[in-house]
Amino acid sequence: MAGPLTALRERFTPDSEQTPRDTRPPSRQRGAKRHGRPKRTGIRRFFTWRKLIAYVACLCALLIGAFTVLYYSIDVPKANAQAKAQSNVYKYSDGTILARTGEINREMVTLDRIPTGVQHAFVAAENKSFYKDRGVDPMGLLRGLVNTVAGKGTQGGSTITQQYVKNYYLSQEQTASRKIKELVISLKVDQRNSKEDILAGYLNTSFFGRVAYGIQAAARAYYDKDVDDLTVEEGAYLAALVQAPSQYDWAVASPKAKRLVTRRWNYVLDNMVDVHWLDPAQRKHMRFPVPVDPEPAPGLDGQTGYLVDAARNELIASGVSEQELAAGGWTITLNVDPAKQRALEKTMRQGLDGSAKGKPRADGSAEKKQARADAAATQGGAVSLDPKNGRILALYGGRDYTRHYLSNATRGDYQVGSAFQPVTEAASMDAKMRNGPDAGGLPEIKRTARALGMDTDRGFGTKESVGLGLMGSSPLKMAGVYASFNHQGKRVTPSIVKSARRGDETAGLPKAVGDQAIAPAAAELVTRSLITDGGKDAVRAVKRPAAGKGGVSDDKRAAWYVGYTPDLVTAVALFGEDAEKRKQIPLKNASAQRVADLWTDYTAQALRNVPAVWFDSGSGAGAIPNPTQMAPTGR
């Protein structure tokens, strides 16, 4: 009996010299491995699944608490009345005033005046769930906040209620705090106001371009009618337009922009069919309603409107919203030099009237009548810039902004013809320098054209189209391309805005001189080629180093000359256009020499008091010819 009793006592009596045995199963003993994994140590012990769930729950509670505080602390403000809007002041580079703009054009209308189909077009375009949602789209808001923090602007996701709140109560600034206010106020507005009131407010405060605020002003500006008379097709265009008024305005839209707005117009109508607001059979027979030409604002006649539009478009591209500009208060200084601007206007005016050098005046009455008819069917555009910094020193957009709204300096719908050949040469030289003597081809030409700043959507499909220069471009872009040749192959993007300020706010402008587009040696070889090919006559005319290329497009609708000295790059183009239908037609007197004469006349005036300098040569491409060895002293 002693043995079993002793064993029991030893089992239940504490022993200070012996650690008690852990009688739990091995898998549950302290310090034992769990499922074959070691005990968590260091920072890992803070990230178990249970703790992660707890962290998320705490974060959600904090966010809910913060939002609750914001919800009760942010009140619906008074309207941000555009009545406080000021004029924008545009100045030349020397500080003299070019123009004042920024008047608000708006006429408020009640919702019952807006046809139901037009109302539905806007809802289909911007916010199909408008009649069901609570004024906000959480996922869209999150996307907008992320884009704003990332510096990508306010992109996508805003409901009609949010857009109305932004237009009516808040500013157009692109900040996270403004987005948060927009969210809170949108929730409150949706609770307090009916959907009909919100939609009416949205339609009356949206900006449509052409200085038009609200659907009534837009109906007048784009279709010359009251809002009551708008068709569904016209309403769908205005609904598509709101996304990008300057880009989608049919009167000035590029071919690419016209395709984009037409696609969005179809998207709006298709959405209306999807939600049963439009009969499929009716939709099938709808055609795009081309809007009327705009009536420019007073004070923008002559070249003023073209300069203002070029500056506006550049600021919008750099991130200033169209509504911010329309609200006014900006002082915008241009790079344009008044003396060079006057010289370019004088040259182009004389050239279009048939009185440039090399073009005799018509003496007989029949000849005069024919000359006037030919002149009316000819449009001209030109851009002149400093190749060292890309600053636009002069720009000619057409005969008169009030009579020809579309700027011939920036339009890109005419073929460039043989003016594209230097790009092909540059692509070939650059490819061979990088990849060997057998490199080149269409992909390389397209890559080089894009790197130099050209649009490459069309005209690059075959060797024939590239060889004939069937791609479209503008004097603005071609001036940038040739400036890149003149700037050791670095991409030069023409820039017209020197500065833009509103109070303490300064618009951020992109650098005009960018990355290396082609090798410096390739750029110098192109310049040497252009001195030999198209620059000899120019050298004689301006009595200084000059390089250039001109020609007539394959369809005879455009004639070009793009030339440069070390100081100045100028692209000049003449376009054939039916004065009434605004359609392209073959040029009368389509001559490359005619355009080259305009270039030399302007360049001689612009550089009259500027000492001649030689092209730089430092890349090993060989010495660039001295013009005194090529040209006589006079013309």
pLDDT at residue number 171: 54
Q: What is the spatial distance between Cα 372 and Cα 354, in angstroms, rounded to a whole number?
A: 9
Place of tokens 């199963």: 25
Distance CA 80, CA 74 (A): 15
The pLDDT averaged over each successive group of 10 residues in the chain (635 residues) is 50 48 54 53 60 68 55 50 66 93 79 96 91 74 57 59 79 56 74 88 89 90 95 97 91 90 96 96 96 84 95 92 82 97 96 61 58 77 96 97 93 95 95 82 94 93 93 97 96 97 88 93 93 69 88 94 95 93 88 92 94 74 48 33
Round to whole Å and give the CA distance between 271 and 277. Answer: 9
Return d(Cα 328, Cα 103) in angstroms, integer.
8
Please give the pLDDT value at position 482: 97
pLDDT at residue 586, as a whole number: 94
Other CB atoms within 10 Å distance of the CB of residue 153: 12
Contact between 157 and 144 (Cβ < 8 Å):
yes
pTM of the model: 0.77
pLDDT confidence of residue 246: 85
Q: In angstroms, rounded to a whole number, what is the distance separating the alpha carbons of residues 411 and 457?
A: 15
Structure confidence at residue 21 (pLDDT): 56
**Three-state secondary structure call for residue 207:** strand
Pairing status of strand 212-213 against strand 105-106: parallel
Phi, psi dihedral angles at 519 (to 5 degrees): -60, 145
For tokens 């050098």, what's the residue? 357
pLDDT of residue 631: 39
Question: What are the Cα distances from residue 572, in Å, to 334, 406, 529, 596, 615?
Answer: 21, 16, 20, 8, 21
What is the per-residue pLDDT for 517? 95
